Amino acid sequence: MPAGHSTGRSSLSPRARRRARRRTRLRRTILGSAALLAVCATGYALVPGEDPAEVSDKPAAAARTPEAGESPADGPGAAAPQGGKAAPVPERSPAAPSAKAPVVPKPSVSASSGASATPAVPASGPGTFKPSAAAGQPQGKGTPLRWRIEVEENSGIDPDTAARSVETILGDPRGWTRDPAYAFQLVGAGQPVDFTVKIATPTTTDRLCEVVTPELIGETNCRAGHTVVVNLKRWQEGSPQFNGPVEEYRALIVNHEVGHEIGRDHETCPGPGQPAPAMMQQIKGLLGCTANAWPYSADGTYLSGPSVP
């Protein structure tokens, strides 16, 4: 046949024709897949979506404000470090509550309970005392008995503050100065005194007062020689037998022990419902009387009771 013309038949062998058909089908499959991927990519680009930065910042749950003492990376939704384990969440100190936690007010202590919200009273101390530097004017009409206060070290009591408290008690018109025979004067450190008021821890009080009665160990006050020994526990907490504020019970301690210093002896309850005498050992029970801290009533009546043999 002339060169450059074809009869319409293939000169390839049957095996070669089958290979040619397979290559043709493969090219069509590849071209079709590429076209499908292009269509999908175009459709995804046309659909509005979230900003990538917003997606990466949002946890699966609702947004959470970090609590006090916690870094933003410590809460739920924090990314896990490499290795697949979540970072441990540090425990918060009880002193740093949640910023959202409600503030619960502390319960107040009733003044009538005879106790106050004070730090724990130390049971014992070094047995050494710090004197007050405070001084004052004579109180009362008689010849003043000079006195000074000393506080056991490490007891948490300021000597000058305690001295002013005792001075106020001794100068009260319901106190011993109601009797014109008595008068008192607070003097500073280094000055001569007629008696000393010591505020001591319970253990030191027991030693100074030579307490041996089991139920009174660690609980009582006393006068030893010319020293009025005030139990720190009673000064701070009052007494369960005394229905009144702790400041009032402090007045009973001072009036009772200073009463011994000026020569007064123990008295007992004059009758049910009547005020207990200041010279009654009220810590042992009221025997039907009502608690009372003062030797005299507001109108000047001496609140007495039968003498105790």
Q: For the segment 130-147, what is each residue's pLDDT rounded down to a tens digit?
A: 999 999 999 999 999 999
Residue 51, pLDDT above cutoff 50: no
**pTM for the full predicted model:** 0.62
| pLDDT > 80? residue 20 | no
For residue 161, tell me if it sits in a domain: yes
**113 within domain boundaries:** no
Confidence of residue 82 (pLDDT cuts 50, 70, 90): very low
Domain extent at residue 224: 129-284
Question: d(Cα 235, Cα 248) in Å, to the nearest integer?
Answer: 10
Asked if the model's pLDDT at residue 106 lies above 60, the reply is no
CB 291 within 8 A of CB 244: yes
- Domain with 140 in it: what CATH number? 3.40.390
Q: Is residue 18 part of a domain?
A: no
More confident residue, 188 or 91: 188
Q: Which residue has the higher pLDDT, 219 or 105?
A: 219
The answer to whether residue 211 scores a pLDDT higher than 80 is: yes
Within-domain flag for 256: yes
pLDDT at 114: 36
Q: How confident is the model at residue 31 (pLDDT cuts 50, 70, 90)?
A: low
CA–CA separation, 151 and 118 (whole Å): 17
Q: What is the pLDDT of residue 241?
A: 85
| More confident of the two residues 166 and 283 | 166
| DSSP code, position 4 | T
**What is the number of residues in the chain?**
309
Whether 188 and 133 have beta carbons less than 8 Å apart is answered as: yes
Helix, strand, coil percentages, rounded to 5, for the chain:
30, 10, 55
Please give the residue that has the higher pLDDT: either 290 or 243.
290
In a domain, 30, yes or no: no
Stronger pLDDT, 247 or 101, i.e. the higher one: 247
Give the count of domains, the chain. 1
Q: Is residue 279 part of a domain?
A: yes
Per the domain annotation, does 308 fall within a domain?
no
> Based on the number of CB atoms within 10 Å of its own CB, is 218 exposed (0-12), middle (13-18) or buried (19 or more)?
middle
